[in-house]
Amino acid sequence: MVPPAATTRTLSTAEERREDVLRTAVSVIAERGLYGTPTTEVARAAGISQAYLFRLFPTKTELFVAVLERSNDRVHDALLEAAREARRRGGDVKMAMAEAYMDLLRDPDVLLMQLQGQAAASEPAVRASLRGCFARLVAMVEREWEATPEEIQAFFARGMLCNVIAAMQIDELDEPWAKVLTHADGEC
């Protein structure tokens, strides 16, 4: 009689599971936000129990902030990479960063996490995370683009308008008010 083949089970470390949860939680949380997302849905999507989810992230707010920071890191890294590539090729750094941001907004998870983060900014931990994200982004844009404070403010203001345009899919409308917002300077 031949013994059955031994199977080995690979156990994940808590840090690996945290990464798995963050990868799967983003689409769940992006859709419904901090207040509308049951942790049971996040746990189910990640293939873990709700109890284990709370061992990895002791509060729902901590989970939300971790997902938000992951999404914001993605924005930062994409803009930084675009700026450096544009500089290397002798291109327009501002335009490269704007195009990189527009590419990111095509991903509904990135767009919705931007909006969900702002919607939950009344939570002190979320507000602190957003402030840290913006401080880091402003410093990076200032360093890479070498723009004036006014140019940086206009760049970020335009980015926020692009969020609204993308979220409401205004660019698909053939109405005068929509055209005013979407074609003011051709960047959104």
DSSP assigned state of 90? T
Tell me which amino acid residue 97 is.
Answer: M
Summarised one tens digit per residue, pLDDT across range 33-45 is 999 999 999 999 9
User: What average pLDDT does the structure give for the chain?
Assistant: 92
**Angle CA 13–18–23, to nearest 5:** 130
Summarised one tens digit per residue, pLDDT across range 103-161 is 999 999 999 999 999 999 999 999 999 999 999 999 999 999 999 999 999 999 999 99
Domain segments of the chain: what residues? 60-182
* pLDDT band for position 7 (cuts 50, 70, 90): low
Q: d(Cα 146, Cα 150) in Å, to the nearest integer?
A: 12
Q: d(Cα 70, Cα 153) in Å, to the nearest integer?
A: 24
- The percentage of the chain sitting over the pLDDT mark of 70, rounded to a whole number, equals 91
